[in-house]
Amino acid sequence: METIIGYLNNMFAALPRTSQMLKLKQDLLASMEEKYYELKNDGKTENEAVGIVISEFGNIDELISELGIGQNYGEELLPFLSEDEAEGFVAAKKRTGLLIGFGVALCLIGTALLILFTTLAEEGSLGVSEDFGSMLGIISLTVLIVPAIGMFIYSGMKMEPYKHLQDGFQLTYQLKSYLQQKQKAFAPTYTLSLIMGVGLCVLSPIGMFVGSAFDGNVSTYGAAIMLLVVALAVFLLVYYGQIRESYTILLTTKEVTKAKKEEDRVIGAVAAIVWPLATCIFLISGLMFQQWQINWIVFPITGILFGMFSAVYNILKVKNNS
């Protein structure tokens, strides 16, 4: 099979490296590989199988002429991605996933500490006034949010060297096969993290519901515990989700269109407004109106509404472009 791959690479070496040529090469290699293994299963020797495959698929110039592609040499060339660049991108996404996941977890932990200190001060367990307890909680929240913001900014800077991937690239057959194997090996880990993350989110309110059946203050502690559990769930979903996304991006070699970039920009802009607003509503309703036992619902509601917006926006964009 290596002989066939080398032959195909030599045949396409003199042709323009356009997206059309890349697709033709990948389709042709898949057909040649299928025919090769079919011949091997029929008892053909290595040399016989290679010879038959090359004789059947070897006339690439004729195939290009029949399909009418590759004539426009002015089409933008797509550069090949090296193995070092691919490995570096996966490593960078892994680091940014760690930073973003940990940063979001810190924000949730800070909110849990705010609830905890405020409740303890109200009960007199801290031996300080309610105002001082609330201030202590706000300080704890601020101390954790500041490094979280730094992590978000730093993670964005770590991905700057790979922004050129949005303009499109090509993968060699060997590199694509290697990445597909890595993605397949990672799939069980991602599935497990997804199950654990979603499961923790679903189970997180149980302590608060149980506590509310006995005492209102106990339910407040349950809200703090719920946020800690959600922090762990979010970390799992973000960290392993970023790793999975790295393989998805690398194995999707199509150029990112202007419409897709515009869609990402709009959804990102809305997210930048909606989620901070939801956090403000959560804190105001808790600090001013002491509704910790119920105001946590603002986050799942925001998530559902934001998901609906993203889906509707995507459908409308597709409809307008069709």
| Residue 224: band (very low, low, confident or very high) from pLDDT cuts 50, 70, 90 | confident
CA angle at residue 181 from 179 to 186, to 5 degrees?
Answer: 95
| Closest C-alpha to 121, from 219, 214, 217, 212 | 217
Q: pLDDT digit string (tens) for 58-115?
A: 566 565 555 555 444 444 556 778 889 999 999 999 999 999 889 888 888 888 888 7
Q: Looking at this protein, which amino acid is placed at residue 153? A: I
Q: How confident is the model at residue 43 (pLDDT cuts 50, 70, 90)?
A: confident
Q: How far apart are CA 67 and CA 9, in angstroms?
A: 19
Q: Please tell me the pTM assigned to this model.
A: 0.63
Amino acid code (one letter) for 9: N
Average pLDDT over residues 316-320: 59
138 versus 219: the higher-pLDDT residue is 138
The whole-angstrom separation of Cα 57 and Cα 92 is 40
The residues that bridge with 80 in the sheet, in sequence order, are 170
Mean pLDDT of all residues in 38-51: 83
